[in-house]
Amino acid sequence: MAYQSLETCLLDLEKNGQLIRIKEEVDPYLEMAAIHLRVHEAKGPALLFEHVKGSRFRAASNIFGTLERSKFIFRDTLQLVQQLIELKNDPVKAIKHPINNFSAGLAALKALPLKNPVSKPVLFQQLKIEDIPQIHHWPMDGGAFVTLPQVYTEDIDQPGIMNANLGMYRIQLSGNEYEMNKEAGLHYQLHRGIGVHQAKANRKAQPLKVSVFAGGPPAHSVAAVMPLPEGISEMTFAGVLGGRRFRYVYEDGFCISTDADFVITGEVYPGENKPEGPFGDHLGYYSLQHPFPLMKVHSVYARKNAIWPFTVVGRPPQEDTSFGQLIHELTGSAVQAEIPGLKEVHAVDAAGVHPLLLAVGSERYTPYTPTKQPAEILTIANHILGTGQLSLAKFLFITADDDNRITTHDIQAYFKYVLQRIDLSRDVHFYTNTTIDTLDYSGTSLNSGSKVVFAAYGVSLRELATTIPAELKQLKGFENPQLVMPGVIALQSAAFKNYQKANEQSVMLNEQLQYADLKNVVIIILADDATFTAASLRNFLWIGFTRCNPSHDIYGINSFTENKHWGCKGPLVMDARIKPHHAPPVEKDLTVEKKINRIFEKGGSLYAVAR
């Protein structure tokens, strides 16, 4: 159905048993986030907090907590959006089957934003930043943050909504050096449309006008995270997905989403930054304090009985995982259509999304040769690493399967297939001194690090070890060997001190293993806690790929460099220990966990969820 507001969506969820009202007063400092995390972990319902301490406004979370709930919210438009995306990838279909695609054409009419609608509910009242629920998510967070913002900016050279950008970039409302009610922090990362807009405004020495929308029809939040091609307005997508045209007006030169629950407007001046963060982020670590653009607040608006939406991110999976799943449902084969030869690509959520990509491609370059080795998949890998936010990938595994037996979404089976076929002397390709995800602290500095491509194709070269070889049980300086999965062993060693010491340890490990028979072991993970690393696939993916900078932390038994190509004749060694420059992992506050038990106990609003 076409929701006119966030509240109409929440009432629909409640009617269908997918929302619970929390009637107790709840503290926005850590308590609301802790409740959300516990309910989300239990795959529980959406939450409506009716009494937020210190604020007259209600708040809602876990709206998109499961893929099933997201699909329920967009049940009337999901198929049409999928059809439109498919038609964009194959426009000939519309010509061949005009009757079948007629409804998609009608749905596309909703894409045109509606300027100056009769009703403008968000302009009902003006308020201050301090009136908004000041939600503090993790103990080390630098202040209160907006975690479901829709940040709107326009192209100064091509003003207007059709060339605008709507993105989900976190906003810091309080703390640090920000002057309350007058300033806010604007954090955005690499490959974001807002960066293009700010760069253009800076060149003209003009401030960038920014509007932060919160709430409104749920399609607006999804549009803000949708990876649309540059030049396509997210507002058009919001209209199609929501089944309702995006409504807007201009006030004092700022664009206002009239269906939003809240709007914060302000300006970002060239060269004006302030420290933003720390913030417990979606990799499961704190993104630390760094200078980011300063937004000088102009006005704050809210509709009558407005509801403040929020989410909590941390070690995946969290609610943002459902966003990714929904995007995959919507886009289908859009990426494959853009990259010739690509069959599948999967940004692994358990590894924090950008640190690890798995891909399946095609091998069609030399069908006339009997030898099977990576060729086309290397071209595809380069294309992936040059495409939008896929370019932020740090580890990319890619293979080809002529018989279409594997999928990137069965992660353990995928790794087995690749590890059986990879030739570590040939198939490891580094990209050094390059850009990586802003939130990834494994690199050399903010936004900087390295990448590696593992491209494996051909016949199986080995049976993978399913037990721990004796040689790994007799090592000096390394202990507690644990089988992570076939072909992957975790070893425990002393805490990381510096790279000089790490290099010495790698030499020590190589000296002990250079003559060992380890042909069935492909990867050795050095970890602070080998037992924890091997306890689950989720643990391995998180530790192995968020704590490793390929150029600095990958070693190999019997490694060599030939004509600038690195390889190894024994197992690959990944140092996934915590380094001094890494950000600390997020951890729950045990005192707060005890305090919120009252809401999950008998008589509490969430007793049914606890049961």
pLDDT tens for 254-276 read 999 999 999 999 999 999 999 99
* Amino acid, res. 246: F
Cα–Cα distance measured from residue 7 to residue 403, given in angstroms and rounded to the nearest whole number: 49
Q: Residue 398: helix, strand or coil by DSSP?
A: strand
Instruction: Please write the tens of the pLDDT for every residue from 316-333.
Output: 999 998 888 888 888 766
Query: In terms of pLDDT, which residue wins out, 334 or 367?
Result: 367
Q: Which residues have C-beta within 8 Å of that of residue 591, sequence separation ≥ 6?
A: none
pLDDT value of residue 291:
94
Q: Hey, what are 433's tokens?
A: 């001194």
Cα–Cα distance measured from residue 418 to residue 360, given in angstroms and rounded to the nearest whole number: 10
In 10 A of CB 482, how many CB atoms? 21
pLDDT value of residue 97:
44
Instruction: Please write the tens of the pLDDT for every residue from 292-309.
Output: 999 999 999 999 999 999
pLDDT value of residue 20:
97
| DSSP codes joined into one string, 502-568 | HHHHHHHHHHHHTTS--TT--EEEEES-HHHHHS-HHHHHHHHHHS--HHHHEEETTEEEETTEEEE
Instruction: Judge whether residue 108 has pLDDT over 70.
Output: no
Kindly state the helix (H) or strand (E) to which residue 237 belongs, with its residue range: helix 234-242
Of 550, 611, 543, 541, nearest in space to 577 by CA = 543
Cα–Cα distance measured from residue 74 to residue 26, given in angstroms and rounded to the nearest whole number: 30
pLDDT value of residue 375:
92
Cα–Cα distance measured from residue 257 to residue 210, given in angstroms and rounded to the nearest whole number: 12
Q: Hey, what are 394's tokens?
A: 């740090």
Q: Which residues have C-beta within 8 Å of that of residue 546, sequence separation ≥ 6?
A: 283, 284, 285, 351, 352, 355, 440, 442
For residue 367, what pLDDT band results from cuts at 50, 70 and 90?
confident
* Amino acid, res. 54: G
Cα–Cα distance measured from residue 360 to residue 415, given in angstroms and rounded to the nearest whole number: 12
Beta carbons of 256 and 214 less than 8 angstroms apart? no
Instruction: Judge whether residue 102 has pLDDT over 60.
Output: no
Kindly state the helix (H) or strand (E) to which residue 379 belongs, with its residue range: helix 376-384
Instruction: Please write the tens of the pLDDT for every residue from 127-186.
Output: 999 999 999 999 999 999 999 999 999 999 999 999 999 999 999 999 999 999 999 999
CATH superfamily of this structure's domain 6-309 = Electron Transport, Fmn-binding Protein; Chain A (2.30.110.10)
Of 368, 353, 312, nearest in space to 592 by CA = 312
Cα–Cα distance measured from residue 452 to residue 443, given in angstroms and rounded to the nearest whole number: 13
Instruction: Please write the tens of the pLDDT for every residue from 395-416.
Output: 999 999 988 889 999 999 999 9
Instruction: Please write the tens of the pLDDT for every residue from 414-438.
Output: 999 999 999 999 999 999 999 888 8
pLDDT value of residue 323:
85
For residue 384, what pLDDT band results from cuts at 50, 70 and 90?
very high
Q: Hey, what are 111's tokens?
A: 């894409």
pLDDT value of residue 74:
94
On the question of a cis peptide bond just before residue 278, with omega within 30 degrees of 0, the verdict is yes
Cα–Cα distance measured from residue 363 to residue 345, given in angstroms and rounded to the nearest whole number: 16
CATH superfamily of this structure's domain 333-456 = UbiD C-terminal domain-like (3.40.1670.10)
The length of the chain is: 611
Beta carbons of 293 and 197 less than 8 angstroms apart? no
Q: Residue 238: helix, strand or coil by DSSP?
A: helix
Instruction: Please write the tens of the pLDDT for every residue from 552-586.
Output: 999 999 999 999 999 999 999 999 999 999 999 99
pLDDT value of residue 395:
97
Q: Which residues have C-beta within 8 Å of that of residue 565, sequence separation ≥ 6?
A: none
For residue 87, what pLDDT band results from cuts at 50, 70 and 90?
low
Cα–Cα distance measured from residue 114 to residue 5, given in angstroms and rounded to the nearest whole number: 16
Query: In terms of pLDDT, which residue wins out, 448 or 521?
Result: 521
User: Which phi and psi angles does 563 have, rounded to 5°?
Assistant: 50, 45
pTM: 0.91
* Amino acid, res. 107: A
Average pLDDT, the chain: 92
Beta carbons of 169 and 188 less than 8 angstroms apart? yes
Of 396, 383, 406, nearest in space to 353 by CA = 396
- Which residues does residue 360 pair with via DSSP β-bridges, in sequence order? 344, 399
Dihedral sign (CA 489, 493, 495, 499): negative
User: How large is the average pLDDT for residues 506-532?
Assistant: 97
Please provide the CATH number assigned to the domain covering 470-575: 3.40.1670
Instruction: Judge whether residue 96 has pLDDT over 50.
Output: no
pLDDT value of residue 107:
61
Half-sphere exposure of 119 (CA within 13 A, CB side): 8
Where on the phi/psi map is residue 103: left (φ > 0), alpha (ψ -120 to 50), or beta?
Answer: alpha
Instruction: Please write the tens of the pLDDT for every residue from 273-293.
Output: 999 999 999 999 999 999 999
Query: In terms of pLDDT, which residue wins out, 15 or 227?
Result: 15
Domain boundaries, the chain: 6-309, 333-456, 470-575
Cα–Cα distance measured from residue 163 to residue 182, given in angstroms and rounded to the nearest whole number: 28
| DSSP codes joined into one string, 39-83 | HHHTT--EEEEEEETT-SSEEEE-TT-SHHHHHHHTTTTHHHHHH
Q: Hey, what are 144's tokens?
A: 């209160």
Cα–Cα distance measured from residue 210 to residue 153, given in angstroms and rounded to the nearest whole number: 5
pLDDT value of residue 94:
37
Cα–Cα distance measured from residue 515 to residue 570, given in angstroms and rounded to the nearest whole number: 9
Please state, in angstroms and as integers, the Cα–Cα distance from residue 335 to each residue in 87, 227, 376, 392, following that order.
14, 10, 17, 15
Q: At what angle do helices 234-242 and 78-89 cross, to 10 degrees?
A: 130
Cα–Cα distance measured from residue 274 to residue 186, given in angstroms and rounded to the nearest whole number: 9
Beta carbons of 500 and 506 less than 8 angstroms apart? no
End-to-end CA distance of the chain: 32
> Would the CATH topology of 6-309 be identical to that of 470-575?
no
